[in-house]
Structure formats: structure tokens, C-alpha cells
Amino acid sequence: MQQYGENPVSRQQVVSCVGERYLSGVVGCLRASEIKNYSVWGHLMRHLILIPILVISFGLFGRQSRAQFPNAHELPPEGWTGPVFELSQDYPTSLPSPEEYPWNDIDFKTEPGDYLDAVLGYVVAGNTAVDWRIQDNAVRKWYHAPWMHWGPRGREFIHGLTQERTSRPHELAPTQDSRFQNWAVGFYNALGGYTIGQVWNDPDNPDATNALFPVGTVTAKLLFTAATVDEVPFLENAFEWEANVKKNLSTSEREPRMMKLLQIDVAIRDSRADDTTGWVFGTFVYSNDHSGNNGFEKMRPVGLQWGNDPTATPASVAGTPLVETWLNPNVTLQHYGYAGRMNGPVDNPISSCLSCHATAQIPTSSPMTFPSSASETERLRWFRNVPAGEPFDTGAISTDYSLQIAFGILNQKQSKNADFAALANALEQAQVANNIAASSKRVLELEKNREQFDEPMIIDGQKYFPVSRGD
């Protein structure tokens, strides 16, 4: 290494610095003490031709210089000419004004179908024209939550999908005999993007106390499945995306393949639901039999939920309708949530949309679903009406029904944890070496450690359950 004045800066430091993708750039990565004379800048200029190549490779060119979080779990392969996901992270720095939402004059309790249709129209508007590059939406910008790239289920590089719960045989259709992987991407409107930006204002030290979403926040998620039309016939003609997903369910190796849009989830911070949770959750399922010109128009509302029906058990609801859930009588799924609560086809039958998200907090000191050993009374703890902004567990910090914020913070903590970092590094080394057997073994070890439902992880002296719906 050559010496330049008092502060030596090697080419390796510059390369390493650019490789720290969660920072805003080369200068931000170098310590101030390393750039206090012009000779350092001279050294940087000597490698100017190297820096743009590295910056492009590591995805640092966001829409503005504020970009500081990684885009995806992996880089595109050499020669890739298809789409490449870019994290929408130009978060508003001041609180946006609420919009005139088309559902404001619709009572979600008495007109749930119309309410959901209005929300879906709001979510789709402008996004299909840009193939869901949400930062390029000419109608309204949307934003992603950061730190969903980390780990074996992290964001793939084509469309930013993360791995969701696996669908078991017969969960999607009576003719389904195989298990199928599902992947999804979620995003928030400007009010939600502002909140995410406040949480992650310091990229190295996220502040969960800022996770309090204003009324009018909307979040949505597109869920894609690897299920085939042969086994799930209603998926015929569904909207498709190519995504870099796992080759199969027993390996960490990924490959591009076509995935079908199966489900869309929405959540709205609506003050009219403040007497229960403050949130209205809804879900849609694709059906080729439904009228429409494309996969989004053929989405049918499954149901809407603004409360958890806290006392409902499988025995108590027999023949009795739930009062804080609406299920579309014209749509029939293979399964719903626990005791008939609203859930989508990909979701866990022992939970519900609101129940899962109510556990969003730091630390994640309770699992997302009740343990298999829980009694009926103990299970109902997961179906309380937790008010917006209040934690599921006393002493925790709520992330206000946002599992993506909780998941991102947990991911960052795990990445800094020595045991997890070592395991993840071993996995990456096995992948780099193209050692399929070793790679598969490592990813199973990593996922086993990440997804134990009854035994929490200890990170920084606190208990953390994995943010996972369970396979």
C-alpha cells in the first residue's frame, strides 16, 4: 500500500468502502480523519474509473444521493439484460398531507366490498404502467421498507420479492398435491414512506419508537406463487413476473423462473376502526373465472377485517358469524384463518391477517402465531384487539402493525450477531464455491435457527422470535 500524507488509504479500503451498500457512498464510508488532506482525494481520483463500476454493481445509484440501503440479496448475474429491482427509498422528510381517499365516504362495515375495490384501485393506479417500479409511478409514489434483503429469504434482484410461507398440499386447491414456494413484495404510500424514513433516519440505529403511522397510511403487498396451473387450475392466465427464487424447497440456490400473482394484501390506517385496532386489513385472490381484462382486474376480494373478534374460538363460532370480519360469500377458499377469521390463501390457517401483524414490535418477544402447545385460552392472546401503536407485549416497542419494519430491524440485528453472521457467511461461501450440498446444508441450518417458533433467539441480551408465518 502506498502512503499519501498522514492518512494512508488503500485501494482495498476504497473497494471495501463502496461495498458497504447501506451507506450513501464512498465519502460517507471513509472516516473524516482519512480525508482531511487533499492527498487522499488524489488517491480516490486515481481510482475514479473503478468507483462508478463498483457503485453501479452494488446498487448505490438510487433516485437521489440519499440512497443508502441495499437493493437485494444478490447481484444480477453477468450478462443479465432483464429488469433489476431498485429499492424505493427516497422517503419524504416532512409529513405529507393526507389525500382525498376514494374510500373515505364508504363504510367498511356496511359496504366492505366497495371499500376494498376503492383501495385496490388506489393501489393499482399508475403502478401497472411502470411494471410496479413504484418510485416511477406518475400518479403517486410508493416506498419500500429497507433491510428485507438479508438472509436466505431476502429480496431477489429482479423484482424485490422476499420468500413467504410455503403452501402445503390442498391449501390452494383440492387438486394441489405439491408444496409450492411463494414470494412477495410490499410497499407503502407517502404517509407510510415518511414513517419508514423516520424509523431508519439513522441507517445503523433504527428507532422503532418512530413507527407510528398516520391516519391515511396505506400498505399493499403482491404475493406470487410457483404453483402450476395443473395443480391449481384457477391460476390460468394470471399475471406473471420473472423472479430469482429458489430452485426447489430444499436448497438455497436461486434461479430466475416465472411466478404467478395469486394474492394481494392491503392495510389501511383508518380512524373509523380506532375502537378496535385502528387498522383495516383486506385481501384479494386471483380467479380466472372472474371478469376482467388482466390479472389485476380478475382479483376478487376475499374479505375485510378491522378487529380480531377476541373471544371467538372454533367451537364458539359454529353457525355464528364473526362481527369484526367480513368474508365475501362469493369467494370460497380452501382455508381461512383461525376460527374462520379473514386470511388469504397463502396465509397460516392458525392465524389471521390482523393477528399476525399485531405482533409487530421490537424486540419480537412473541412469535407471530400461538405455540402448538397453547390451550384455547392461551391462544386467544393472539387475537386481542391491540390498538394502533401499542405493543403486543408489555415493555416492547410497537412497530404499528408493520412486520416489514420489525423484520428489517431484526434482520439488521441478526446480521451484526456473531453466530448468525458466521452461519450466513458460511452459506455465502458455499454458494460462491458452487457447492450445492454444502449450500443446502447451510441454508437449512440458518433457516432452522431463524424460524424456531418455541425458542427465541437472544440478541443483545433480549429475546427475539423470528418474524415468520411458519412453513
**End of a domain among 13, 30, 61?**
61
Tell me whether residue 470 is in a domain.
no
* Total structural domains within the chain: 2
176 and 31 in a common domain: no
How confident is the prediction along the chain (471 residues), in pLDDT tens digits per residue?
A: 333 233 333 323 322 333 333 333 322 332 233 323 333 333 333 333 333 433 333 333 333 345 589 999 999 999 999 999 999 999 999 999 989 999 999 999 999 999 999 999 999 999 999 999 999 999 999 999 999 999 889 999 999 999 999 999 999 999 999 999 999 999 999 999 999 999 999 999 999 999 999 999 999 999 999 999 999 999 999 999 999 999 999 888 999 999 999 999 999 999 999 999 999 999 999 999 999 999 999 999 999 999 999 999 999 988 788 999 999 999 999 999 999 999 999 999 999 999 999 999 999 889 999 998 999 999 999 999 999 999 999 999 999 999 999 999 999 988 887 556 665 555 555 555 555 455 555 444 554 444 433 455 565 666 556 555 544
Tell me whether residue 176 is in a domain.
yes
* pTM assigned to the model: 0.80
Q: Which of 215, 203, 80 is nearest to 145 (CA)?
A: 203
> What's residue 428's pLDDT?
56
Range of the domain at 246: 62-464
> What's residue 14's pLDDT?
29
119 and 13 in a common domain: no
39 and 66 in a common domain: no
> What's residue 228's pLDDT?
98
191 and 297 in a common domain: yes
> What's residue 459's pLDDT?
57
> What's residue 415's pLDDT?
86
d(CA 181, CA 163): 7
Tell me whether residue 48 is in a domain.
yes
